[in-house]
């Protein structure tokens, strides 16, 4: 990976190599961080940050769940995101704000200072080249998501991604593009780092926030755009086998964008190619960045 030159840490822009954290910082041992992943897109009217404010609001929501005080305002974190993009001459396409418990105590309940950094890098296509067009083969993981009232799935916290690593690494080891996890109920949850949409008879079905998933901003974007386009959207619990039986299936997330799934556990989904509804959702979503889909909600925030 090629690292960009500049990064923002605790209020200042620094060289990438200088943005360090002590090995005894709380976060290194206990996964005590909250973070965001945000995409930047080039549009006809210049570079934009997609739903910057909504992402950073979720950062504060995650911190609230973990009782972690972030020593900056939302406006300051938004400004830091813009600053780090500009420092790197808008050559990157992904932002990563992260707030973490730093050095200052080793107890689980230690009130360490909260350190904050905003990194940026070039993400490109997260699940590999050409997947947006051709789709991926997915598998259901042997690892379930955490049960309700164990780790809060609604927080985007560093420690949650130990679960995501188990799911994603198992899938990769078995030769699949991505893994899909079931909730502790045995019902469908989400991908290692993506939400799920299934298509039945032209309607979109997506798993509910009670299914141990992160309430994705891309998921919310799709629900909004689909309903406006007259596509029915239903949030519901779904059993595993519906992955095999649906007409179309895709995953979505900031990194994965809208990635069609052409098979699950070796069973072809629908025609084995991205279907009409998936294509329409891709067009509506990517249309936001070339001006074909009007930005009615102020989602495109200027750098």
15-34 mask for ligand PMP (x: CB under 6 A)?
--------------------
Interaction between residue 97 and ligand PMP (CB under 6 A): no
The residue at minimum Cβ distance from ligand PMP is 216
Long-range contact set of residues 12-17: C-beta below 8 Å, sequence gap at least 24: 13/83, 13/84, 13/87
Active-site position among 14, 57, 122, 156: 156
Binding segment toward ligand PMP, per CB under 6 A, in 65-73, 132-140, 191-199, 280-288: 191-199
The distance of closest approach from Cβ of residue 195 to ligand PMP in the complex, given in angstroms and rounded to an integer, is 5
Classify residue 187 by its DSSP letter: B
Rounded Cα distance between 191 and 169, Å, is: 12
Rounded Cα distance between 42 and 48, Å, is: 6
Token pair of 6, please?
A: 């500049």
64 an active-site residue?
Answer: no
- The CA-CA-CA angle for residues 155, 7, 57, to 5°, reads 30
- Pick between residue 253 and residue 270 the one whose CB is nearest to ligand PMP: 253
Beta-bridge mates of residue 9: 12, 117
For residues 7 and 117, the answer to whether their CB atoms sit within 8 Å is: yes
Q: Which of residues 216-235 bind ligand PMP (CB under 6 A)?
A: 216-219
The distance of closest approach from Cβ of residue 240 to ligand PMP in the complex, given in angstroms and rounded to an integer, is 18
Residue from the set 112, 144, 254, 259 that interacts with ligand PMP by CB under 6 A: 254
Residues in the interface with ligand PMP (CB under 6 A) total 14
For residues 92 and 4, the answer to whether their CB atoms sit within 8 Å is: yes
Interaction between residue 257 and ligand PMP (CB under 6 A): no
Residue 204 in 3-state DSSP? strand
Token pair of 263, please?
A: 């098979």
The distance of closest approach from Cβ of residue 93 to ligand PMP in the complex, given in angstroms and rounded to an integer, is 14
Residue from the set 140, 214, 249, 300 that interacts with ligand PMP by CB under 6 A: 214
Interaction between residue 194 and ligand PMP (CB under 6 A): yes
Classify residue 28 by its DSSP letter: H
Interaction between residue 190 and ligand PMP (CB under 6 A): yes
Rounded Cα distance between 284 and 281, Å, is: 5
The distance of closest approach from Cβ of residue 31 to ligand PMP in the complex, given in angstroms and rounded to an integer, is 14
Catalytic residue ranges: 156
What is the contact surface with ligand PMP in residues (CB under 6 A)? 37, 164, 190, 193-195, 213-214, 216-219, 253-254
């Amino acid at each position: 990976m090629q690292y960009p030159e500049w990064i923002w840490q605790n209020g200042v822009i620094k060289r990438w190599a200088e943005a360090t954290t002590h090995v005894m910082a709380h976060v290194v041992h206990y996964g005590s961080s909250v973070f965001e992943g945000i995409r930047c897109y080039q549009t006809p009217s210049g570079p934009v940050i997609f739903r910057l404010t909504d992402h950073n609001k979720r950062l504060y929501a995650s911190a609230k769940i973990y009782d972690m005080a972030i020593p900056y305002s939302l406006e300051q974190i938004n400004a830091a995101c813009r600053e780090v993009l500009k420092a790197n001459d808008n050559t990157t396409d992904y932002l990563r704000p992260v707030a973490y418990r730093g050095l200052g105590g080793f107890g689980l309940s230690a009130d360490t200072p909260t350190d904050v950094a905003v990194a940026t890098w070039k993400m490109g296509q997260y699940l590999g080249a050409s997947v947006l067009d051709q789709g991926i083969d997915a598998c259901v993981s042997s690892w379930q998501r955490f049960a309700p009232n164990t780790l809060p799935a609604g927080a985007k916290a560093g420690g949650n991604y130990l679960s995501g690593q188990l799911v994603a690494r198992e899938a990769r080891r078995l030769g699949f593009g991505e893994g899909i996890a079931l909730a502790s109920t045995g019902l469908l949850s989400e991908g290692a780092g993506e939400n799920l949409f299934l298509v039945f008879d032209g309607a979109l079905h997506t798993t509910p926030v009670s299914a141990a998933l992160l309430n994705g901003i891309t998921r919310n974007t799709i629900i909004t755009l689909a309903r406006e386009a007259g596509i029915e959207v239903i949030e519901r619990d779904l059993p595993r086998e519906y992955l095999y039986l649906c007409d179309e299936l895709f995953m979505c997330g900031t990194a994965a964008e809208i990635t069609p799934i052409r098979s699950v556990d070796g069973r072809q989904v629908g025609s084995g190619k991205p279907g009409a509804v998936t294509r329409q959702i891709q067009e509506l979503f990517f249309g936001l960045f070339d001006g074909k889909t009007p930005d009615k909600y102020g989602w495109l925030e200027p750098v």
